[in-house]
Structure 1
Amino acid sequence: MSDRRRARSQDDGGAGDGVDRTPSSRADVCIVGAGPAGALVAHRLAAAGADVVVLEAGPRFDISRRTEAQERHIRPGMGDPWEMGGPRDAYSTAGREYPLNAARVKGVGGSTLHWQGMVMRLHERDFELATRHGVGTDWPIDYADLRPYYATAERALGVAGAMDNPYAPPREEPFPLPAFPPSYSDSLFAEACERLELDMHSVPNARNPEPYDGRAACQGYGTCKPVCPSGAKYTAESHIEKARAAGARIVDRVPVQRLEHDERGETIEAAVYATPDGTEHRQPAGQFVLACGGVENARLLLLSESDQYPDGLANSSDAVGRFFMDHLFAGAGGRLDEPTRQNHVGFNTSECHQFYDDTGPVEGVKLEFLNYAGPSPVIEALGADTWGDELLDRLRESYGTHVAIGGLVEQLPDAENRITLDPDRRDDHGNPVPNVEWSLSDRTKRAIRRANEIQHAILEELGASIEWTVGPDATGPAFHQMGTTRMGEDPERSVVDADCRTHDLSNLWIVGSSVFPTGGAMNPTLTIAALSLRAATAIEESL
């Protein structure tokens, strides 16, 4: 090997791509994670003139190869389009099974690479759950505090929506983009809901009905989750690129192993990361921001234990990893005696918040009218034992006559639902893997049953024959991991303050859904974005 090639191999950590993965001499801000939270903070601070380094555990995926990623998803047996799995992503569960790898991505863009793209604001009650209902806890901020940042986040992501939701919290201006029109099956549901005196309204989506912010309009591929070939759906790659253009340095394939603090345990001095060949480096900075999700934020703090923090970094409250929450899925579907006149639409266009503050269970319930036409004809055909006209007739009978209603149900915070370290299982760097300890309370199960009752009533009014129900015993998570580094005013009961700065270390900040004290029943990404923009303001003031 020539001296030049040898030096290049050392710089890129053995990846062979020529990317320099050695540390910057010293950065103003080091951000761990290049998902939506990290990307927005990186862009805001870099645009303000800060020297920013972003360390991302996963790779940078080539945007020009999204059609290939779509094919990997569509064709059975071709594997995951986002390279999840193996020792790098190993985990364990205790209690109820939690399939962590079913819907997460390590890479530049994070969860927005595969998300469905629905973006709702939390309701005012979500910030005051203890005060209003005597359960859960209150946030140290209220809706009014976050309201201007919600508006900024909607513009940043490019949210398409309409002001037709009578149950939504107050807002200051229209959505940046017009809402997507309701599907034909939405019109069928609308007739049944009108007779039942139920309100349907549009879904805010972070995808373009028309070109916006350099991204194309939606082309209707129908594979939004897990991949959008057109680029119409927002991904955090957009703000990572804006951060890079503003001077930020983005380093991929460098999982952070631990954070190291000063002798007094008051500030973080460096993030220790590994390159693809296993070499460890220390990245110093003035401020540090954790932005690697509800599971990995907590895991990294627990891995960073020290003499001053024997139970994990920033964990004097014993709250790191605790109060893990997700949204639970409730759903029902069936068949109509008429065609739904649609091909698969990859996202929801109508929903109902009428039962979010229902007088029944305290837990919030959000109903979603699914653009679902039946089982995938591709999968049905590939698994069929017949061919020709007989197969075609079978596909015509099974596809295009189905309807379904989904829903998200709130899970209240519980200290025993938590992320811990598994002492018996290691990842590819020899670190304990995350262990998800998760269970459902009787309260949550009652709320899921309540959602099923409403869904059945709508389907019966529609005249559908109900063929399946996802209730308390069959429910699964929406993969919205929240609550493991909760915010609060009391350092003895929380991990970060209202600005997302840790109580224990003055230069360590945490952004993302892990800081949520409660989860509501709204998809969390818009709140992640709003909180991240709010935290970025505080971080900028501290520089």
Structure 2
Amino acid sequence: MSADRSPVEADVCVIGAGPAGALVADRLADAGHDVVILDAGPRFDESDRIERMERALRPAYDRPDVWGMGGERDAHSNSGERPYPLNHARVKGIGGSTLHWQGMVMRLHEADFETRSRHGVGRDWPISYGDLRPYYAAAERELGVAGADDNPFGPPREEPFPMPAFAPSYSDGLFAEACEQLGIAMHSVPNARNSEPYDDRGACVGYGTCQPVCPSGAKYGADVHVRAAEEKGATVIDRAPVQHLDHGADSIRAAAYATPDGETHEQEADAFVLACGGVETPRLLLLSASQDYPDGLANSSGLVGSCFMDHLFAGMGGTVDEPTRQNHVGFLTSESHQFYDADAEIGPFKLEFFNYAGPSPVETALEGDEWGDALLDRLRTDYGTHVGLGALVEQLPREESYIGLDPDRTDGHGNPVPRIHWSVDDRALRTLERANEIQRAVLEEMDAEITWAVGPENTGPAYHHMGTTRMGEDPDESVVDPDLRTHDLSNCWIASSSVFPTGGAVNPTLTIAALALRTAEAVDDALRSDWLV
């Protein structure tokens, strides 16, 4: 990591040190290219993770506090029909949001790439599942995925997962009895956490605080590949938020970035890879508007920032008259893709069986005034009898949802903050209602007392930012081509969930990783081709 944060000689400048940027940087450094990574946040000391876990357990701290989110650096605004709490689930720093993610890594289904052709809604991807399939396998090896080939509804696979799946939890067994009666198939969840030692990292030791922090390092974080890239010669400059991209009519010349001491530098390179996520990537392009691109860089299509998507959450839970939290597990071990098949009216969704429903012992203790034996009696009675189910629901790409620039509010550097205009389509609302129906049926079969529900009226985001610089063949209808190179700029690629034409109903990180590996190949080919000279 550069101590003085000065620019370096570089073939490639990668902006963002999350999973996409980290994997691209590692692959390109391994190919012998000089790589520099710029990231807006700091490098976090691994030895601080126990302290961060303890902070996460204390009710006085909110999730953004655990990783230092908030303030002028991370300011944003909302203008849509539904508020979007952006900072609740993102991290700026080396490793990005994988520092606090839940770690579930599924492949998109084959149908997800053909939503328009199959159902007449959304958009088709310019690539197929078959095109991405080998990169999915490579991404599973790179991240280290524990899983089993037991999902009868999932896409075809070509090889076993790198590690065996985690065993079903105690509460999974309670759900399984009800699901068997209802004809609902359960199967394992692929997890980017070690079920056994892998890649010089130990197996999961069960802290149970995976979200927002894994103290042991068993859960994958993109800082793993940042360090690997550094070992191969890459330079990392942290706390270096990029202010704008200096460019000509068809290429980027330099990334102008600020430093904590108030200076601004320009990092030049032959190729640039934007890996800032679905919000900051379009924001950077919009901040880089010029005479050549008055509506924002790489925005001849007018789609930069447009069609912002997230997965919507549907959930329901309550209590049963028996213990549910023996051998507590802090992540999901069972799910069901049985209801993933979609049509024009009802979208795909995956059903999740929670291992961590209900309040923690600390929260339970703080709910009353008892002490001593009375408190212990209440904990034995009230704690550990909760059950809950969740679901991720697809949201269609629509121009009514977008990321723009706030005309009135600026960050600490005087730049307009991102303004989020988020709305939910009617198909997603119908799908949320359908998910709730199935969740209610399972809980009633378990004789649970239902105490909470999240559905069409009070749904919230899963914090999977997608769709704001989508890929496609037609430059008038997309921002990047199938290799994720921008249509407008010859030396700029975007490696991010922002390129997703649609989002499906599974967690996006494995697809981000697969696309990043594919992009690294494209950048490597371009650097070795005639365009450079």
Classify the TM-score, shorter chain.
over 0.9
2:484 counterpart residue number = 500
What is the identity, as a one-letter code, of the residue corresponding to 2:12?
V
- Which residue of 517, 522, 532 corresponds with 1:538? 522
Alignment partner of 1:412 is 2:419: no
Alignment partner of 1:97 is 2:97: no
How far is the alpha carbon of 1:107 from its aligned partner? Answer: 0.1
Q: Which moved more, 1:376-385 or 1:490-499?
A: 376-385
How far is the alpha carbon of 1:77 from its aligned partner? Answer: 2.2
Q: Deviations over 1:344-394 (max 9, x none)?
A: 421000000000004684311110000025211102223422222222222
- Which residue of 42, 58, 63 corresponds with 2:41? 58
Alignment check: 8 A CA contact 2:210 2:331 kept: yes
User: 2 CA distance for matches of 1:285 and 1:270?
Assistant: 7
User: 2 CA distance for matches of 1:45 and 1:112?
Assistant: 21
Q: Deviations over 1:449-468 (max 9, x none)?
A: 00000000011111211111
- Which residue of 101, 105, 122 corresponds with 1:119? 105
Alignment check: 8 A CA contact 1:343 1:400 kept: no
User: 1 CA distance for matches of 2:131 and 2:466?
Assistant: 20
What is the identity, as a one-letter code, of the residue corresponding to 1:254?
A
1:294 counterpart residue number = 278
Q: Deviations over 1:192-236 (max 9, x none)?
A: 111111110000000001110011110100000000000000000
1:3 counterpart residue number = none
1:150 counterpart residue number = 136
Q: Measured at CA, do residues 198 and 40 of structure 1 come closer, stay the same or move farther in structure 2, by a change above 3 Å?
A: same
User: 2 CA distance for matches of 1:499 and 1:82?
Assistant: 33
> Pairwise mapping of residues 23-422 of structure 1 onto structure 2 (< 5 A)?
23-24=7-8, 26-78=9-61, 80-95=65-80, 96-262=82-248, 265-358=249-342, 361-422=345-406
1:433 counterpart residue number = 417
Alpha-carbon RMSD: 1.2
Q: Deviations over 1:72-92 (max 9, x none)?
A: 111232461210000100000
SS in 2 for 1:347: coil
SS in 1 for 2:390: strand
What is the identity, as a one-letter code, of the residue corresponding to 2:437?
E
Alignment check: 8 A CA contact 2:39 2:240 kept: yes
User: 1 CA distance for matches of 2:358 and 2:326?
Assistant: 10
Alignment check: 8 A CA contact 1:278 1:429 kept: no
Q: Measured at CA, do residues 426 and 47 of structure 1 come closer, stay the same or move farther in structure 2, by a change above 3 Å?
A: same
1:472 counterpart residue number = 456
Alignment check: 8 A CA contact 1:326 1:480 kept: yes
User: 1 CA distance for matches of 2:3 and 2:59?
Assistant: 33
Which consecutive residues of structure 1, in runs of 5 or more, have no partner in the other structure?
1-11, 13-17
User: 2 CA distance for matches of 1:360 and 1:42?
Assistant: 40
Q: Measured at CA, do residues 78 and 374 of structure 1 come closer, stay the same or move farther in structure 2, by a change above 3 Å?
A: closer
Q: Deviations over 1:477-518 (max 9, x none)?
A: 000000000000110010000000000000000011000000
Q: Deviations over 1:81-137 (max 9, x none)?
A: 210000100000112100000000000000100000000000001000000000000
Q: Which moved more, 1:68-77 or 1:468-477?
A: 68-77
What is the identity, as a one-letter code, of the residue corresponding to 1:74?
L
User: 2 CA distance for matches of 1:450 and 1:343?
Assistant: 32
User: 1 CA distance for matches of 2:276 and 2:391?
Assistant: 26
SS in 2 for 1:484: coil
Q: Which moved more, 1:204-213 or 1:376-385?
A: 376-385
Q: Measured at CA, do residues 457 and 368 of structure 1 come closer, stay the same or move farther in structure 2, by a change above 3 Å?
A: same
User: 1 CA distance for matches of 2:109 and 2:158?
Assistant: 15
Q: Deviations over 1:269-325 (max 9, x none)?
A: 000000002211000000000001100000000000000100000000000000100
What is the identity, as a one-letter code, of the residue corresponding to 1:312?
G
What is the identity, as a one-letter code, of the residue corresponding to 1:271?
A
User: 1 CA distance for matches of 2:342 and 2:38?
Assistant: 43
Alignment check: 8 A CA contact 1:299 1:434 kept: yes
What is the identity, as a one-letter code, of the residue corresponding to 1:246?
K
How far is the alpha carbon of 1:469 from its aligned partner? Answer: 0.7
User: 2 CA distance for matches of 1:394 and 1:420?
Assistant: 50
1:5 counterpart residue number = none
Alignment check: 8 A CA contact 1:347 1:371 kept: yes
Alignment check: 8 A CA contact 1:344 1:373 kept: no
User: 2 CA distance for matches of 1:373 and 1:294?
Assistant: 29
SS in 1 for 2:267: strand
User: 2 CA distance for matches of 1:28 and 1:224?
Assistant: 36
User: 1 CA distance for matches of 2:237 and 2:118?
Assistant: 45
Q: Which moved more, 1:392-401 or 1:132-141?
A: 392-401
Question: How many residue pairs are counted as aligned between the two chains?
Answer: 524
Q: Which moved more, 1:153-162 or 1:462-471?
A: 462-471
1:8 counterpart residue number = none
Q: Which moved more, 1:109-118 or 1:389-398?
A: 389-398
Alignment check: 8 A CA contact 1:342 1:373 kept: no
User: 2 CA distance for matches of 1:20 and 1:156?
Assistant: 31
What is the identity, as a one-letter code, of the residue corresponding to 1:39?
A
Q: Percent identity?
A: 69
Q: Deviations over 1:230-280 (max 9, x none)?
A: 000000010000000000001100000000112xx1110000000002211
Which consecutive residues of structure 2, in runs of 5 or more, have no partner in the other structure?
528-533
User: 2 CA distance for matches of 1:312 and 1:39?
Assistant: 26
How far is the alpha carbon of 1:403 from its aligned partner? Answer: 0.8
What is the identity, as a one-letter code, of the residue corresponding to 1:502?
T
